[in-house]
Amino acid sequence: MSSARVTFQIAENPPARLDKALARDVPAEAALSRTRLARLMEQGAVLVNGVVATDPKGKIAEGAEVEITVPVADESHIGPEDIPLEVIFEDDDLIVIDKPAGMVVHPAPGTPSGTLVNALLHHCGDTLSGVGGEKRPGIVHRIDKETSGLLVVAKSDRAHHGLAKQFEKHTVERYYRAVVYGVPDANDPRLRGVRGVNFESGNIMKITTQLARHKTDRQKQAVLFEGGRHAVTRSRIVEIYGTPEVASMVECWLETGRTHQIRVHLTHAGHSLIGDPTYGGKRKLSEKALSQQGIQAACSFDRQALHAAVLGFEHPVTGDAMRFEAPIPEDMNALIKALAQPKA
């Protein structure tokens, strides 16, 4: 395996720990995160004044000469594919994509090709500097196959580490638009009896539960109140459809990011997403409330009506505040327009 050498000198007032000193002083162009440096130390690839250094807690003095042998990133085992992408932003460290509904994010046994990762490998080509020693895009979060909207993907190891940390700390801003059955309003007495559901000022519905894989259907998630993983979703009404009211568009934002979280939580509250084949089912909408076009649009909508509309985070390398918005896609717009059409 070919490799590159990174050499530098420790600056004044180094941190007490070796790993922190290396992370502070390693040249930025080397694109080595603290996690990657720790792995290289374990592999005996870090020399301090000509001596192998493997203890991340070890001490290091100002002026010490550091030499790191960095293996050149291996080519990914996943094949690149020429699939069009809607690129919202791109630089040397990350790329933001508006993913269409129907595209899987990462290859899996059932979908070995045609995924976002396959498309990114083709699009990014040699601009991928390597994540964890492999030339691949760093996936730090996902959205479901049939959910459209914004995703940020790391192109370098340092960006991958920095973005993952922000997602772990729940500091990333994520807003979704969803079209649901019913209207999740604080004035609905039924909702006051649903465990885990309460309302904050401004008619904001907060759902707090645990989530875990369903006991009998391994493709689904289930709401629990003991065990599982903590999950919090908030939502507010954006538009209401029907007379009387039978559907609404809501804006949702996540305090945590669990698999299928919005879909499971809104279903638990009795407001499943229109078109959701896993959690929503088909509900009969009143012909007295909606136009025929609205009823037909809701019945024929063939995916969960969910769109990742806003994504905000701190650039993991420059520290700049980044915020992106993606317009609601055509199929959801058509559904919304049909639901809003007055009954003749």
pLDDT digits (tens, 9 = 90+) for 269-300: 999 999 999 997 778 888 899 999 999 999 99
Q: What is the pLDDT of residues 237-249, one digit of tens each?
A: 999 999 999 999 9
Q: Picking from 90-99, 109-118, 123-132, which range would have the lowest pLDDT averaged per residue?
A: 123-132
Largest CA-CA distance found in the chain, in angstroms, rounded: 83
Asked if pLDDT for residue 105 goes beyond 60, the answer is: yes
Looking at this protein, which amino acid is placed at residue 75? E
How high is the pLDDT of residue 60?
A: 92
Helix or strand (DSSP H, E) at 98: strand 94-99
How many residues can be counted in the chain? 344
- Total-model pTM: 0.79
Asked if pLDDT for residue 253 goes beyond 70, the answer is: yes
Q: What is the pLDDT of the chain when averaged over all its residues?
A: 90
Distance in angstroms (rounded) separating the CA atoms of residues 129 and 336: 42
Distance in angstroms (rounded) separating the CA atoms of residues 206 and 115: 33
Comparing CA positions, the residue from 157, 158, 81 lying closest to residue 113 is 81
Categorize the per-residue pLDDT at 136 as very low, low, confident or very high, splitting at 50, 70 and 90. low
Pairing of strands 321-325, 204-213: unpaired
Give the active site residues.
Answer: 144
Tokens of 7: 């050499």
By percentage, how much of the chain surpasses pLDDT 70? 94
Tokens of 315: 């650039």
The set of residues, in sequence order, having a beta carbon less than 8 Å from that of 88 and lying 6+ positions away, is 96, 97, 98, 150, 324, 326
3-class SS of residue 50: coil
Cβ atoms of 197 and 225 closer than 8 Å: no
Distance in angstroms (rounded) separating the CA atoms of residues 258 and 230: 9
Tokens of 20: 């922190």
Distance in angstroms (rounded) separating the CA atoms of residues 290 and 243: 7
Sort residue 172 into left (φ over 0), alpha (ψ -120 to 50) or beta.
beta
User: Distance of CA 171 to CAs 79, 167, 195, 257, 295, Å?
Assistant: 33, 6, 27, 11, 39
The β-bridge partners of 229 are 211
Omega into 244 within 30° of 0, i.e. cis?
yes
The set of residues, in sequence order, having a beta carbon less than 8 Å from that of 123 and lying 6+ positions away, is 85, 87, 95
Distance in angstroms (rounded) separating the CA atoms of residues 204 and 232: 13
